[in-house]
Amino acid sequence: MDSREIEADLTEVLVTEQQIRDKLAELARRIEADYEGRDLLLVGVLKGAVMVMADLARELKPHVNMDWMAVSSYGAGTTSSGVVKILKDLDSDLSGRDVLIVEDIIDSGLTLSWLTGNLASRGAASIEICALLRKPDAAKVEIDVKYLGFDIPNQFVVGYGLDFAERYRNLRDVAILAPHVYS
């Protein structure tokens, strides 16, 4: 799906497909250098991280393993509570593994804060984070993100895996959703 075709639903395209591609290539070169000679396990957080995972993994030259978790925040509402429930756990044993969590976006940071703690308790050798997007003005907890794509304004965005009510995930770019769509 192209931004042009759903122009009326979007306020502004923030990051284009090409900018994402270029950034992931840049991050992949850093990751390759940092993990040289080690076996990397990429852990994607469903469903938002599917596109980042697919493109980052293919950009990486060495072998990598990929695994997935699905989590959800307890409680209703659109704001993250920080209390997280595992809907689908990893298939892999993490003991001694070098883990790179792959995420779409860091908003409050509460999900990733919980997730890194949870994975750390499983005996991984190392845990780092790669996130395509971050909203610095929305942070409730500090997240140490080693590989970051773009800082964006504190607005609701869709595309490249990010949804509103399960739509727009297949939009190629990342764009601000027009308020009339959700209000």
Residues forming the active site: 107
Minimum separation from the CB atom of position 96 to ligand IMP (A): 27
Closest residue to Mg ion, based on beta-carbon distance: 48
- Residue 113, classed as helix, strand or coil, is helix
Minimum separation from the CB atom of position 45 to ligand IMP (A): 6
Contact between 173 and ligand IMP per CB under 6 A: no
Minimum separation from the CB atom of position 98 to ligand IMP (A): 22
Give the distance from CA 115 to its chain's centroid: 12
Contact between 115 and ligand IMP per CB under 6 A: no
Contact between 107 and ligand IMP per CB under 6 A: yes
Beta bridge partners of residue 44, listed in sequence order = 68, 102
Among 24, 42, 48, 135, binds Mg ion (CB under 5 A): 48
Of 7, 54, 23, the C-alpha closest to 161 is 54
- In the bound state with ligand IMP, the residue whose beta carbon lies nearer, of 12 and 39, is 12
CA distance linking residue 80 with residue 103, whole number of Å:
15
- In the list Mg ion, ligand IMP, none, the entry touching 35 (Cβ below 5 to 8 angstroms by class) is none
Locate 67 and state its tokens. Answer: 């695994």
Q: Which residue has the tokens 């009326």?
A: 8
Minimum separation from the CB atom of position 165 to ligand IMP (A): 10
170: exposed, middle or buried (C-beta count within 10 Å: 0-12, 13-18, 19+)?
exposed
Instruction: Name the site residues for Mg ion (rule: CB under 5 A).
Output: 45, 48, 104
